[in-house]
């Protein structure tokens, strides 16, 4: 540490000596005679130096003011550039807003047109509703009057009378009778003729296998017992009888204006029953798919005959035919005797429709 301080002192002494030597070299000796001239020259130099310093000071002040002005100008230019950028951003934003405004305006026009259309439709619907209401009020007024009620009742009686007449023609066309002997047949009178069955013990006591339609008896129950050795003529008679029943049921449903749950495709002894119910797998799906499935599922036809057909499908067709008869019985307010009694149920249907109570109900 002391060695370093000593070295610093030596360096300082050396530099002082160099300055003294330089000063001695710059010292000039002036004679007395030249002192005034030299003094005047120094004075003029001093004055010039002063003026130069003043000019320098003024120039420095001007330069400082110029620098300040320049700085302010640059700041203003920067501010102006920022304002331009902001203005450009606002112009872009205004363009976007104008585009959105145009889109909103177009949407508003579309909605306005839709609303105007709906308003016009509502006005038309309101007018139609008011007209319908006036008609309904007039109809109610006429109906509540004695003549109106009587007129409606008479019209209903005429309709029932026409239906009864047409169905009586079906009864004459396809008579259902009971065999009393080998070659003798008589009308089945034990079945009730009113719209209310009440006690049907009398009808149940009769053997339904003796019932015939146009002298033919349909073979219904022994379908599953059919074999290769079964009499072909009996099968033909059975399918013919079922064709008669199908045609009679179709006519009665059309006269009563009842859409059958299982429609018929008539073909005489080669008739079919149509089942529009979707398969079991479809009914277990989401209910929202029911509409789509019901539109895509094709109806299934079941043959009402045995030749060349599966006995199970034929038996199911007979079951569907029996359900159609039960539907017609339910329409007129009569209970069914059971799905196996096709001819008996058909006979009950025909006699109840031909009764006097059918017109009075």
Distance CA 227, CA 221 (A): 14
pLDDT at 271 over 80: yes
Across residues 196-210, what is the average pLDDT?
45
* Number of residues that this document lists for the chain: 361
87 pLDDT band, cuts 50/70/90, is very high
More confident: 226 or 164: 164
For residue 205, pLDDT over 50 is answered with no
d(CA 133, CA 141): 12
Q: Is the pLDDT of residue 221 over 50?
A: no
Handedness of CA 21, 23, 28, 29 (dihedral sign): negative
What is the Cα–Cα distance from 133 to 247, expressed in whole angstroms? 43
Is 185:215 a contact under the CB 8 Å cutoff?
yes
pLDDT at position 103 = 92
CB neighbours of 245 closer than 8 A, spacing ≥ 6? 174, 213, 218, 321, 342, 343, 346
At 18 the pLDDT is: 63
Name the token pair of 89.
Answer: 């951003």
> What does the pLDDT read at residue 92?
92
Q: Average pLDDT, stretch 67-80?
A: 90
DSSP code for 279: P
Summarised one tens digit per residue, pLDDT across range 146-184 is 566 677 778 888 888 898 888 888 888 888 887 655 444
pLDDT score, position 183:
44
pLDDT: which is higher, 287 or 80? 80
**Most confident by average pLDDT, 86-90, 161-165, 265-269:** 86-90
pLDDT band at 132 (very low <50, low <70, confident <90, very high): very high
Range scoring the smallest mean pLDDT among 2-16, 84-98, 176-190:
176-190
What does the DSSP assignment read for 291-342? HHHHHHPPPEEEES--TTS-HHHHHHHHHHHHHHHHHHHHHTT-----TT-H
**236-248 per-position pLDDT tens digit:** 888 888 889 999 9
> How much is the pLDDT for 89?
92
pLDDT value at residue 185 = 43
Confidence category of residue 219, pLDDT binned at 50, 70, 90: low
pLDDT (0 to 100) of residue 142: 72
Q: What is the pLDDT of residues 190-202, one digit of tens each?
A: 444 444 443 343 3
Which of the residue ranges 117-131, 211-225, 257-271 would you say has the lowest mean pLDDT? 211-225
Task: In whole angstroms, give the CA distance from residue 225 to residue 69.
Answer: 121
- In whole angstroms, give the CA distance from residue 170 to residue 356: 17
Residue 1: pLDDT over 90: no
For residue 266 the two structure tokens come to 């008539």
CA-to-CA separations, 18 to 5, 10, 13, 22, 27, in angstroms, rounded: 20, 12, 9, 6, 14
The pTM score is: 0.52
Q: Which residue has the tokens 């209310």?
A: 196
Tell me the pLDDT of the chain averaged across its residues: 77
């Amino acid at each position: 540490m002391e060695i370093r301080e000593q070295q610093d002192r030596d360096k300082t002494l050396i530099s002082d000596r160099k300055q003294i030597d330089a000063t001695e070299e710059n010292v000039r000796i002036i004679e007395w005679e030249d002192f005034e001239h030299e003094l005047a020259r120094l004075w003029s130099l001093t004055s010039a130096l002063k003026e130069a310093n003043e000019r320098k000071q003024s120039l420095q002040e001007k330069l400082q003011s110029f620098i300040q002005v320049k700085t302010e100008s640059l700041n203003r230019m920067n501010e102006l550039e920022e304002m331009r950028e902001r203005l450009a951003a606002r112009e872009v934003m205004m363009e976007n807003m104008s585009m959105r405004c145009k889109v909103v305006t177009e949407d508003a026009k579309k909605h306005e047109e839709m609303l105007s259309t709906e308003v016009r439709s509502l006005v038309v619907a309101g007018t139609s509703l008011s007209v319908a209401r006036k008609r309904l009020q007039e109809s109610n007024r006429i109906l509540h009057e004695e003549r109106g009620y009587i007129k409606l009742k008479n019209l209903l009686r005429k309709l029932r009378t026409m239906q009864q007449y047409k169905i009586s023609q079906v009864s004459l066309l396809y008579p259902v009778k009971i065999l009393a002997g080998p070659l003798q047949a008589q009308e089945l009178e034990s079945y009730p003729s009113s719209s209310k069955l009440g006690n049907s013990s009398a009808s149940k006591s009769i053997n339904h296998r003796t019932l015939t339609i146009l002298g033919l008896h349909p073979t219904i129950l022994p379908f599953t017992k059919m074999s290769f050795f079964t009499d072909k003529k009996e099968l033909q008679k059975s399918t013919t009888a079922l064709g008669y029943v199908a045609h009679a049921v179709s006519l009665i449903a059309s006269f009563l204006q009842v859409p059958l749950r299982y429609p018929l495709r008539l073909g005489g002894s080669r008739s079919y029953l149509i089942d529009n119910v979707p398969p079991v797998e479809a009914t277990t799906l989401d209910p929202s798919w029911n509409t789509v499935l019901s539109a895509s599922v094709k109806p299934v036809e079941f043959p009402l005959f045995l030749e060349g057909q599966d006995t199970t499908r034929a038996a199911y067709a007979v079951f569907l035919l029996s359900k159609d008869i039960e539907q017609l019985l339910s329409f007129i307010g009569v209970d069914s005797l059971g799905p196996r009694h096709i001819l008996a149920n058909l006979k009950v249907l025909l006699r109840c429709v031909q009764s006097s109570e059918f017109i009075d109900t």
